[in-house]
Amino acid sequence: MAVDYSLVRVTLRFTDPSLDLEEQDLEVQKLLPQLAQLAISGDVEQSGRVIDPNPPEQSKGFGFLLGLLQAEVSAANFKALSQFLGERLLGKTIEMEVEANGKKLKLKASSQAELFAALKVAQEFIAN
């Protein structure tokens, strides 16, 4: 499968230690319909849960990794996604991986200041 370098893949993991895995996954479930609206407007190419590459043998289908979501956007639309995430992730403890131009950047944030700084670093990473 060829990698489309014009797209930016953002993987978001909720990591708040005060939340159990199911509560972290509830945060994902809250964001998914909102990301779907961004897809309808054309700001996001696609979004969804992260499929478990090694589902339990007893499962009858594909499982999802709890507490994770992924979105793909064009580099031009990353700023819109950043604004969206900045508004919705205030006060959340997250880890974010941004993949663009064949490179990956990992960021963490647990406060408003850290979140805005992480999003700014991600924007600069994509621009370069």
pLDDT tens string 8-39: 999 999 999 999 989 999 999 999 999 988 88
Range of the domain at 102: 7-127
Measure the CA–CA gap between 43 and 118, rounded to whole angstroms.
20
Q: Is residue 118 part of a domain?
A: yes
Q: Which of 81, 98, 76 is nearest to 37 (CA)?
A: 81
When comparing pLDDT for 61 and 11, which is higher?
A: 11
The reply to whether 63 falls in a domain is yes
Closest CA to 52 of 39, 73, 38, 67: 67
C-alpha to C-alpha distance for 48 and 40, rounded to whole angstroms: 14
| Mean pLDDT value across residues 52-80 | 81
| Residue 36 in domain | yes
Looking at the 3D structure of the chain, how many domains does it have?
Answer: 1
Model pTM above 0.75: yes
Beta bridge partners of 8: 73
* Residue 1 maps to a domain: no
Starting at the earlier edge strand, list the strands of the sheet with 64-74. Answer: 46-51, 64-74, 7-14, 94-100, 103-109
What CATH number is given to the structural domain containing 113? 3.30.70
